[in-house]
Amino acid sequence: MDTNEYNNCVNLYADGVYRFVFKNLRDADGSKDIVQEAFARLWERHKDIDNAKAKSYIFTAAYHLIIDHSRKMHERPLMDGFDTIQTAFRQYTDIKEVLDAAVAKLPSDQRSVIMLRDYEGYSYDEIAEITGLSLSQVKVYIFRGRTFLRRQLESQGIYSANMEEAV
């Protein structure tokens, strides 16, 4: 990968990587730091990385940096603010806000694979490669995460099983 290809990667993927990191951390400054570190790692290895694999490399680096950051911050379970989140659900009916809150309550592994699949559009195989999980574990995490999200939306009256039948 040369300098122009690296700069092109920054232009193409920086926003997507930031969204992915921010959805997992919910901390703008920490997310920016992780994105910067991920691109720094890409630059350090730019001579060894094929341009076609750069997107996968950058998301993998960001994923591992999220894990490292969470470990350093001694991430507490997101269920601590459950009462606050329930109150917020009652006050707002905007599906995006409800969905964002529900995604935030997912365990970090499930949240990461859901973000990679449904927000970034990666295939199951690519997610397995990025996260280092087995393909079957990726599928299980996505299924469980989507089931949890569906239940959260149903509990707020935003989603019903009848919606699937209509589609």
Strands (E), 79-158: none
pLDDT at 119: 82
The domains found in the chain, sorted by start residue, are 1-75 (1.10.1740), 78-167 (1.10.10.10)
pTM score above 0.85: no
Q: pLDDT tens, position by position, for the chain (167 residues)?
A: 888 999 999 999 999 999 988 888 888 888 999 999 999 999 998 888 888 888 889 998 998 898 888 877 765 444 444 444 444 444 444 677 778 888 889 998 899 999 889 888 889 999 999 889 999 999 999 999 999 988 888 887 776 655 454 44
* Longest alpha-carbon distance in the chain: 53
- Pairs from 33-37 (Cβ < 8 Å, separation ≥ 24): 34/62, 34/65, 34/66, 34/69, 35/62, 37/61, 37/65
